[in-house]
Structure 1
Amino acid sequence: MYTIAPSPTPILLSDPVTSAPPDTSAPSILRYIIGFLLIGIAWGFTTPFIRAAARTHQPPSHPILSSPSVTNSFLKSKLYGAFFGVVDLLRNPRYAIPLVVNLTGSIWFFLLIGQAELSLTVPITNSLAFLFTVLGEWWVERKVISRDTWIGMILSLCGIALCVHSKTG
């Protein structure tokens, strides 16, 4: 059995001479705004690019999918089909690059949610993702943004402003 022997010299938990004061400063509001915008762009603006690439994707043929050992097994045919479907899309840069940017938005969100207030982070990032999705559709697909959509976007921005004001005021 092990025992812990007392230390011959006392250990101070905080030495005022050598220890630095803890950093209590929170990140600036500008860093939060940039974080919210980057997440909104990563989630929203990339979605139309991913959709356009998936819509126009022409997968190559895979002879193994038509082999008797695969076609005779339901499980093998589904697994091989799903595997080649994912691999073919990921090998397409028109799909893979926006997907990677979109997924990095999730990483940024995870990092931001640990610092920012949850009741602000979720509605702000989701609203911004919606706004950037509309702008991305306009950019990629040349969709016309209707008057009602513009009104909805403005109301979303007003809702974001009200959320922020209620937490800071």
Structure 2
Amino acid sequence: MSESESQTFELSQIFSMIAVSCLWGITNPFISRGAKTSKSVQSNFSPFLKPFFELKNFIQNWRFSIPFIFNQLASILFMVLVVTLPLSMTVICVNSLTFVVTALTGAALGEAPLSKNTILGTFLVLIGVILITV
């Protein structure tokens, strides 16, 4: 392992990874809900005008567009993290924590109750992330 990959994360870097995970994890269930309410653009429009109608539908469906925008902002921050931090640890930590936050948010919204296996898996993921970052 190279010296840069064996270093521990600074507190600000850990908070940045948690921020991305929370933004992704919280917005995922809302994007899923918003996508169910979206309308498809009719195919009788010209190919040139269709993107404009898609954009209009995107803006009008705030249940999808607002969480999507926050999700994409988190993606930009994630790209910054990937460039500045060790790739192998950053991707594992952020994606693992995103799973945890998505499961908790989905349960809070009533999508799926937390099963014993989900709680155990969440606990094991958190232990793994702590071991990687410390």
Q: Fold conserved (TM > 0.5)?
A: yes
Deviation (angstroms), 1:61: 7.3
Match of 1:89 in 2: 58
Deviation (angstroms), 1:85: 3.9
Tell me which of 16, 33, 55 is aligned to 1:35.
16
Tell me which of 23, 29, 34 is aligned to 1:53.
34
Shift of the 143–112 alpha-carbon distance from structure 1 to 2, 3 Å rule, reads same
Identity %: 31
Deviation (angstroms), 1:44: 1.5
Q: Which runs of 5+ in 1 are unaligned?
A: 1-27, 71-75
Match of 2:25 in 1: 44
TM-score calculated relative to the size of structure 2: 0.79
Q: What root-mean-square deviation, in Å, do the aligned CA atoms of Structure 1 and Structure 2 show?
A: 2.5
Deviation (angstroms), 1:105: 0.6
Query: Whole-Å Cα distance in 2 between the matches of residues 93 and 56 of structure 1?
Result: 10
User: Which stretches of structure 1, 4 residues or more, deviate above 6 A after TM superposition?
Assistant: none
Q: Is the helix fraction higher in 1 or 2?
A: 2
Deviation (angstroms), 1:129: 0.8
Q: Which runs of 5+ in 2 are unaligned?
A: 1-8
Match of 1:123 in 2: 92
Match of 2:119 in 1: 150
* Conserved 8 A contact 2:41-2:54: no
Matched, 1:136 2:105: yes
Deviation (angstroms), 1:138: 1.3
Counterpart AA for 2:71: N
Query: Whole-Å Cα distance in 1 between the matches of residues 129 and 44 of structure 2?
Result: 53
TM-score calculated relative to the size of structure 1: 0.64
- Match of 2:101, SS? helix
Shift of the 86–138 alpha-carbon distance from structure 1 to 2, 3 Å rule, reads farther
Match of 1:100 in 2: 69
